[in-house]
């Protein structure tokens, strides 16, 4: 059984130990300050007798350290060193995560935490629903105010059957044993957690949330940074927003409204262009090639509009050869005529004019290489269709 120094002193990083056992590149010690990871916090790194510790993991009551090429044997007395810069960054990040979620949960009733990931670089918390930047901003402001107050961070333990646990944020189904470790940030947050934390909030320095992204079915991830990295990123994004407001010809305080108006205008213009493109495509005249109805041409329309028109004409038994008037151009070849193998014609023509594509016998699509001429594709495809029909 490994004595866990980190459990009662997260600031101790230099220690002497005795090798208990080895397993290839893995080493077990009689005691260790290396945190094996847990509660969403990444494991420590450092050195054992000068050999790099790449990974630390718990195996039941033993903690093992991955030290490639260590050359150690059981009974060796060794000096160990935890990478303090990494450890301290993780401690600050983990404490900040408690504070950030605590602040968010006060603003959003019944908010649930799904996942925590505290790495040396990236840090984020996944919650069960989306929240606005206004809510995140208020939560971060609350966290930074508490950091300035320099609140104490206290660690204690409670029995699993203690009724007071009902008032503490805890996922008991993920915690083994009868004793529950609890971390309380004086008057701000309290939660069950076995990770490592700072002793006072002032040590965190500053917190800034810089990304909010979907995590799929899990919910939404709020990414954040702490300390100098948080200050640097907040400054960079502030100046980026100033550049955007200049580009929008608006005051920084009006940039959001200006961007919303611009997006609304853009969507309206896109809708009008789509409508106009659809009218052009559907108004394309029918041509006869070897007695078969064929519709072909290059149009200033998007690929979805062309696909919709192609499906309709295919259903009427027509052969359709369409291309977008763009660079690169997207192309469609469809046919309701059983004699036409659209996939073969498309791939053959694209290989000659420059492009790739595929699909089914009756409906295929692809794209030309940038700079390739869509008119050349349409004409060659029409010639290929004519050759097939005239040979039958």
Asked, for residue 268, whether it belongs to a domain, the answer is no
Asked, for residue 24, whether it belongs to a domain, the answer is yes
pLDDT of 324 over the 80 cut: yes
- Tokens for 243, please give them: 């550049």
Residue 290 sits in the same domain as residue 160: no
Residue 330 sits in the same domain as residue 387: yes
Cα–Cα distance, 55 to 26 (Å, whole number): 9
Residue 201 sits in the same domain as residue 114: yes
N-term to C-term CA, the chain: 84
Q: Three-state secondary structure along the chain?
A: CCEEHHHCCCCCCEEEEEEEEEECCEEEECEECCCCCECCECCCCEEECCEEECEEEEECCEEEEECCCCCCCCCCEEEEEECHHHHHHHHHHHHHHHHHHHHHHHHCCCCCEEEEEECCCCEEEEECCCCCHHHHHHHHHHHHHHHHHCCEEEEEEEECCCHHHHHCECCHHHCCCCEEEEEEECCCEEEECCCCCCCEHHHHCCEEEEEEEECHHHCEEEEEEEHHHHHHHHHHHHHHHHHHHHHCCCCHHHHHHHHHHHHHHHHHHHHHHHHHHHHHHHCCCCEEECCEEEEEEEECCCHHHHHHHHHHHHHCCCEEEEEECCCCCEEEEEECCCCCCHHHHHHHHHHHHCEEEEECCCEEEEEECCCCCHHHHHHHHHHHHHHHHHHC
Confidence of residue 391 (pLDDT cuts 50, 70, 90): confident
Residue 146 sits in the same domain as residue 193: yes
CATH number of the domain within which 15 lies = 2.40.30.130
Asked, for residue 76, whether it belongs to a domain, the answer is yes
Asked, for residue 275, whether it belongs to a domain, the answer is no
Asked, for residue 253, whether it belongs to a domain, the answer is no
- Structure confidence by residue, pLDDT tens digits, 46-104: 999 999 999 999 998 899 999 999 999 999 999 999 999 999 999 999 999 999 999 99
pLDDT of 176 over the 80 cut: no
Residue 101 sits in the same domain as residue 243: yes
Domain that holds residue 48: 3-82
Output the pLDDT for position 197: 97
Residue 103 sits in the same domain as residue 77: no
Domain count, the chain: 3
Asked, for residue 112, whether it belongs to a domain, the answer is yes
Q: Which of 307, 257, 258 is nearest to 282 (CA)?
A: 307
Asked, for residue 261, whether it belongs to a domain, the answer is no
Residue 292 sits in the same domain as residue 375: yes
- Structure confidence by residue, pLDDT tens digits, 12-25: 999 999 999 999 99
Domain boundary among 191, 218, 247: 247
Do the Cβ atoms of 272 and 261 come closer than 8 Å?
no
pLDDT of 114 over the 80 cut: yes
- Structure confidence by residue, pLDDT tens digits, 225-279: 999 999 999 999 999 999 999 999 999 989 889 999 999 999 998 888 888 888 8
Residue 92 sits in the same domain as residue 206: yes
CATH number of the domain within which 341 lies = 3.10.310.40
Domain boundary among 63, 82, 101: 82
Residue 231 sits in the same domain as residue 119: yes
CATH number of the domain within which 185 lies = 3.30.980.10
Residue 373 sits in the same domain as residue 311: yes
Output the pLDDT for position 234: 96
Residue 44 sits in the same domain as residue 11: yes
Domain boundary among 82, 106, 132: 82
Residue 92 sits in the same domain as residue 163: yes
Asked, for residue 314, whether it belongs to a domain, the answer is yes
């Amino acid at each position: 059984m490994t004595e866990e120094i980190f459990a009662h002193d997260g600031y101790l990083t230099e220690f002497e130990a005795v090798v208990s056992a080895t397993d290839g590149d893995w080493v077990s010690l009689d005691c260790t300050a290396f945190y094996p990871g847990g509660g969403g916090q990444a494991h420590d790194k450092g050195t054992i007798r000068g050999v790099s510790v790449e990974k630390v993991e718990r195996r039941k009551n033993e903690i093992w350290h991955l030290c490639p090429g260590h050359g150690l044997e059981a009974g060796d007395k060794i000096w160990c060193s935890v990478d303090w810069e990494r450890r301290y960054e993780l401690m600050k990040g983990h404490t900040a995560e408690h504070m950030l979620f605590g602040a968010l949960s006060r603003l959003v009733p019944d908010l649930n935490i799904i996942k925590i990931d505290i790495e040396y670089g990236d840090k984020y918390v996944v919650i069960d629903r989306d929240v606005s930047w206004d809510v995140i901003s208020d939560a971060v402001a609350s966290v930074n105010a508490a950091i300035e107050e320099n609140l104490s961070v206290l660690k204690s333990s409670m029995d699993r059957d203690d009724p007071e646990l009902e008032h503490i944020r805890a996922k008991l189904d993920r915690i083994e044993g009868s004793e529950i470790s609890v971390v309380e940030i004086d008057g701000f947050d309290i939660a069950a957690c076995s990770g490592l934390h700072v002793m006072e909030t002032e040590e965190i320095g500053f917190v800034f949330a810089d990304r909010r992204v979907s995590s799929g079915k899990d919910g939404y991830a709020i990414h954040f940074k702490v300390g100098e990295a948080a200050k640097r990123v907040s400054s960079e994004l502030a100046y980026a927003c100033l550049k955007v407001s200049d580009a929008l010809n608006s005051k920084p305080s009006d940039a959001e409204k200006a961007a919303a108006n611009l997006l609304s205008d853009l969507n309206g213009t896109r809708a009008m262009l789509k409508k106009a493109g659809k009218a052009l495509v559907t108004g394309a005249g029918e041509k006869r090639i070897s007695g078969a109805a064929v519709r072909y041409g290059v149009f200033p329309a998007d690929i979805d509009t062309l696909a919709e028109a192609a499906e309709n004409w295919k259903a009427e038994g027509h052969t359709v050869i369409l291309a977008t008037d763009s660079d690169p151009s997207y192309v469609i070849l469809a046919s309701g005529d059983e004699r036409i193998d659209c996939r073969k014609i498309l791939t053959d023509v694209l290989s000659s004019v420059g492009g790739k594509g595929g699909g089914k016998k009756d409906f295929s699509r692809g794209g030309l290489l940038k700079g390739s001429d869509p008119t050349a594709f349409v004409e060659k495809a029409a010639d290929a269709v004519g050759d097939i029909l005239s040979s039958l």
